[in-house]
Amino acid sequence: MITSKPKGTYLFLSLILFTSFIIACKEEEKVVVPMEYTIEQLYNTVDIFGADFNADETKVLIGTNKSGIYNVGELSLSDTSITMLTQSDKDSYWASGYVPGTNQFIYDADQGGDENAHLYVQTIGDTVAKDITPWPGSANSFYGWSLDEQSAYISSNKRDARFFDLYKLNMATYENELIYQNDSSLDVSGLSHSERYLALSKTITTDKNELYLYDRQSKSTTRLSNDNEASWQAMEFEKNDSILYYTTNDGGEFNYLVKYNINSGAAEKILEDKWDIVGMSLSRNENYHTVFINEDGKNKVLLFDHKTNKPIDFPEIKDADVLSVQISKSEKNMLLSVGSSTSPRNLYSYNFETKALKKLTNSLNAEVNENDLVSAEVVRFKSFDGLEIPAIYYKPKQASKKNQVGALVYVHGGPGGQTRIGYSNSIQYLVNHGYAVLAVNNRGSSGYGKTFYKLDNKDHSNGDLKDCIWGKKWLQEQEYIDSSAIGIYGGSYGGCMVLGALAFHPEEFKVGVNLFGVANWLRTLKSIPPYWESFRKALYDELGDPYTSDSIRLRAISPLFNYEKINKPLIVFQGANDVRVLQAESDEIVEGVKKNGVPVEYVLYPDEGHGFVKKENQITTAKKTLEFLDKYLKPKEEHKG
C-alpha cells in the first residue's frame, strides 16, 4: 500500500533540492583568483645549497644565487646570518667544501658555461683565489678528502680529453699524484678510505653498465656485474676495506641496495623498495647511513643506525621533499636541503642529541604568498598504445569551466631524464599567469622501471613524441582547458621534442617553446664533447650511430631536415657557449622556419652554456616566453568569464 505524502512536504523537499542545486552551482563557479606576480618578484626567490660544516660545526659553507649569479657564502647556525665569501658577477662559483685544518675553502667554476671547470682555493676574508687545476682545456671536479685530510682527490681529463683520471693533490704543496689512469672508459665511481680499492664503472648502453672492483695493491680486477641487461652503481666503502655497497636492478625493474663482502665475494641484498633506490651514504664514523628512494618523482629518505641496520625516525617536515642530507664530522648535527613544488629549497639543521630541528633560510621572496602558488600533483594517462604515462601536473587556481585557460605540455631533457615534483620559478610564473603545465614523463624516462626506460631506444620521435601528444589529449579532456590553446615546451632533448612535434605533427600544438633543443641529430651525435667518450657508444646504441646506416633514420627524425612542415609560431632560446647542443642547431632551425612565413622569435645568450644559470637570463627567458604565449596561445575571449 502506497501512502501519499502531504503536499507541503513535496514543496519543502523541492525547495531543499533547488537550494542545494543553486549552492552546488555557485560552488562549482567559485574561482580562486591568486595574486598575480611579476617575474622579478618570483625570481627574487633565492636558490641556496649547503656544501660543508666548518670545523667546530657552527657554520655551513653554502652556495647561493642571491646576487643573480652563484657565489660562495658562509651561514651561521646560531643566528642564520649569511656572509658572502666571493663576489663573482660573471661566472658562477660552486661551493665544494672547507679545506680541513685551515680557514680556506674550495669552489669550482667554468668560463661562460663551457663546462671546463677548474678548482680554486680561497682564504676566508681574502678576495684572491688560486687555481689548483691550472691545466688548459681541462675539466676538473672535487672528489673528496683523503683520510688524513691533507690531500684532495680530483677527477680530471688533463692527460687525455676523452677520459677522467683520479689524482691526489697535496694541499700544502699543490703537487698531484696519479691514483688511477683511465685508458679504457672505466670511470672511477668509488674509492676506499685506504686508497686500496677502486670501484670502476663502464657504460655499455644507457640502461646497462658494468661494475668492477680494482685492487691497487694486487693490481687485480674483480667483475661485480654480470651479462644481464642491468645497471650497477657503487655507493660507499666501509672504512675496514671489507664492505662495498652498491645498487643494481639486476633481476628486477628497480634498483635495490646490495652489501658486498670484498673478502668473501658474497653479495647480499639488504634493502629494496617498489621504486628505485638512488642513493646511499655513510656518516664519517659510520654510526649512520641514509638511503634515498625516487618515489614517483619525489624523494623518500630513510635514516638507519648503521651498526644494527635498524631504522631511525627521520625529522618530519610537512609537505617536504628532502633533496640532500649531510651529517657532520662529529655526527651530532645534520644539514638538510628541503623543498617542495611551492617552495624553493631551504636549509634546516638537526641535532641528533636534542632532536631539535631548525629552519635556517627563507628562500621564497617575502612578497610572494606561497598559497598563491600551485602544488604539483602526479597524474597518469593512457597513451596511443594503452601504456600508462606518468606526469607532473600544475593546474592554475583561476581555471574553471567558466574560465578556461591555455596549457603547455612540458618535456624534460635527456634522453632518459625525469621531471620530478619540485620548485620551478618558470613553471610557477606561467601557471600563476593562467597556463596549465603538464610535465610528461614519456616512455624512456627514468624512475619508472628499466622496461619503461628502454621503451624509446631507437624509437625517438615516435612513441615518446606520441606520449606528449596523448598528454595533450588528456589536457583537452579537462573542462577548464581551452582545447584549442595547447602548446609544447621543452629544453635540450625536450627542445628536440618541441621541434619534432611542430614538424611531424604540425596540427597538434598551437605553439612551440624550444630551449637549446637538438635540431640535427647527425651533428649533435658527431659533436659530443670528448670527455663524454665513455658515454658516447651508449648514446649511439640508444639513438643510432651517425657514422653508419643509422644516419638515414637520424636524418629522418631531425627537425632541421623537416623545417618546411612547421607552420606554428616558435620561440627559441640558446646559449652561445653550449658544448652539447651547438648554437648552429638553433641558428639553422630559426633560419629555416622563417622561410615558412611563420612567426619565429630567437633569443641568444652570449654568456650561457647548456642551461641558463644567470638570473638575468632566466628572467628574460620567462618573461619573453609569457609574452610569446599571450600573443599566440592565449585562449579566446569567449572562453573567459
Domain annotation covers residue 510: yes
**Phi and psi of 215, rounded to 5°?**
-100, 110
d(CA 165, CA 157): 6
Write out the H or E segment, with its range, that includes residue 12: helix 7-29
Residue 230 lies in a domain: no
Q: CB-based contacts of 147: which residues, under 8 Å, 6+ apart?
A: 193, 194
Whether 125 is covered by a domain: the verdict is no
Peptide bond before residue 415 is cis, with ω within 30 degrees of 0: yes
Structural domain boundaries enclosing 532:
374-635
- CA 407 → CA 475, 488, 510, distances in Å? 8, 8, 10
* Residue 585: all three cell numbers together: 642547431
C-alpha cell belonging to residue 594: 622563417
Give the per-residue SS3 of 463-525.
Answer: HHHHHHHHHHHHHHCCCCEEEEEEEEEEECHHHHHHHHHHHHCCCCCCCEEEECCCCCHHHHH
Predicted local confidence at residue 257, as pLDDT:
98
Position 30 scores a pLDDT of: 59
Residue 410 covered by a domain: yes
pLDDT averaged over the chain?
A: 93
Q: How many CB atoms lie within 10 A of CB 367?
A: 13
**Residue-level pLDDT at 635:** 85
CATH number of the domain where residue 421 is located: 3.40.50.1820
The predicted pLDDT at position 27 comes to 42
User: Any idea which residue has 604568498 for its cell?
Assistant: 369
The 10 Å Cβ neighbour count of residue 363 is 17
Nearest to 451 by CA among 300, 201, 229: 229
Confirm whether 566 is domain-assigned. Answer: yes
| pTM for this prediction | 0.92
In a domain, 551, yes or no: yes
- Contact, 367 vs 442, CB < 8 A? no
> Which residues pair with residue 214 across a beta bridge?
198, 221
* C-alpha dist (Å) from residue 452 to 207, 578, 598: 11, 30, 36
Quote the pLDDT of residue 637. Answer: 65
In the chain, the N- to C-terminal Cα span, in Å, equals 52
- The alpha carbon of 369 is separated from its chain's Cα centroid by a whole number of angstroms, namely 25
Q: In the chain, which stretches have pLDDT less than 70?
A: 1-31, 637-641
What CA–CA distance (Å, rounded) separates 92 from 108? 8
Helices vs. strands in the chain: H and E counts, helices first = 11, 36
Neighbours of 280 (CB within 10 A): 22
List the grid coordinates of 400: 574553471
Assigned domain for 430 exists: yes
Residue 9 lies in a domain: no
Q: How far is CA 533 from the centre of its chain?
A: 22
In the chain, how many domains are there? 1
**What pLDDT is attached to residue 535?**
87
User: Mind giving me the DSSP string for 563-579?
Assistant: GGG--S-EEEEEETT-S
- pLDDT at residue 543, rounded to an integer: 93
